[in-house]
Amino acid sequence: MTFVVAGKTLLGLNCMQPFGWGTVSGNMYAANPYQNGGVDSVVMSNARLAAIKAAGFDLVRLAVDPGTLLSAPSATVLNNLAGQIAAGVQRRITAGLKVLVDVHFMQGPPLAGWSCNDVIDGISGPKFKQMMAAVTALAKALSAFDPASVALELFNEPPPLAAFNGKTAWASQLMFYWHAIRGVLPNHFLVLAGTNYNALDNFQSGAAGGDGLTALPIYGYDANTGYSWHAYEPIAVAFQGEAGEYQDCHRLTFPPQNHPGGLAQATSDLNAAIDADATLSAAQKTQRKSDFAQPNWSFSYPPYFKTPQDANWLANRYAVATAWADKNKLARSQLGITELGIRGDLGANLGADPASMTAFLAAHKAAATAAGFGMLVIHELQNGDGFGVMNGNSFVPAVIQGLKLSTIQPTVTGVQTVITYSDGSSKTVVDV
């Protein structure tokens, strides 16, 4: 293996800015789409990159909105966009960080038509073919980098099994895809994912087998291939406060043994929040209360408290991955969690409290390190979705404590960065 290091769990930071959410203009991506939060030299200034490195992170996961590449009107534009991404990669390497470039297909992309569900239309499908062409161009741009510094994650979150009804199975599509990119990047670490949005197994979906990483056949892949999943568990704790199913979950404490009043009080608080939620109809309120009261659902409250789903439970969940790896004769370092996070203190007693954030991150880091996983990537840099771990160039205190990060604040001045745009023009900026 080239990117991960045997006997070490690389600590990473997921960064959606600026490449992971392309700027849309009308019904197409803007000519210069990579400005989520500002251009790269601004949102990911040399000072911020230095702070990430000084804190103790080994890598950044550079999320790329693949729709920007798949919808490129010409090969020239496609290659220019790939070149901008490569320039961003170089800046991060210069800062002393490894880079996991993430082809970040999602459920709801900035521009309709390029979701994780759209591009799985089969090996001969038009959008699958566009994906192959676009990622091949990106891979060519990355081929100049040292494999010890750069890896490529092929698909952020493959959809659930139901999305493949009537289509070629994900395992077959992924194998074809992997072979094509391996031909361009023969020595780089390529990271794969299973269905149900990069789940570990069928615990979250409740499906009768076949879901997640542990259902992925691995014969045919080489030893320089990684296998990832997203470890947002326990689920209600990780996603508390997020719009949708978990929007009325707040101040759910981790570990559950620390929750004031236990299951009874947590349920009472949840039901009161649901009753006061003006976005829900009466029927929806009844249904949601029933959902969270289920005795054995992955996100319901009773199993969270009664199991309990604490640090020991997390270690057992990670043991599912190590057992799968051992069965398939994989090195533990080939396993990696490419997203893990908790929605933190959102103010006004919303989201997880700082003590729970610290305990949650500490438990995951301890379990991943003990299991010997190759990487553990924290979601995420920015705070657009409540998971943010940085304010400017400083980390949230609960994150520092949970991950045992350094509090060193480096100073970087006078570093020039050249930005090249898709039309071929460029400008030089200086971080101060």
pLDDT tens for residues 60-98?
999 999 999 999 999 999 999 999 999 999 999 999 999
* Rounded average pLDDT over 41-66: 96
Number of other residues whose CB lies within 10 A of the CB of residue 298: 18
Does the pLDDT value for residue 15 go beyond 50?
A: yes
Q: What is the pLDDT of residue 94?
A: 97
DSSP line for 334-391: GEEEEE-------BTTBS--HHHHHHHHHHHHHHHHHHT-SEEEEE-SS-TTS---EE
* Rounded average pLDDT over 311-320: 97
Q: What is the pLDDT of residue 411?
A: 65
Q: What is the pLDDT of residue 421?
A: 41
Average pLDDT score over the chain: 93
pLDDT tens for residues 125-145?
999 999 999 999 999 999 999
Q: What is the pLDDT of residue 2?
A: 84
pLDDT band at 419 (very low <50, low <70, confident <90, very high): very low
State how far the alpha carbon of 84 is from the alpha carbons of 419, 420, 427, in Å: 7, 6, 12
Does the pLDDT value for residue 426 go beyond 60?
A: no
Long-range contacts formed by 301-306: CB under 8 A, 24+ apart: 301/236, 301/263, 301/266, 301/267, 301/270, 302/263, 304/234, 304/236, 304/237, 304/252, 304/256, 305/256, 305/259, 305/262, 305/263, 305/266, 306/263
* Rounded average pLDDT over 299-308: 97
Residue 332: helix, strand or coil by DSSP? helix
| Cβ–Cβ under 8 Å, residues 334 and 1 | yes
Does the pLDDT value for residue 263 go beyond 60?
A: yes
pLDDT band at 215 (very low <50, low <70, confident <90, very high): very high
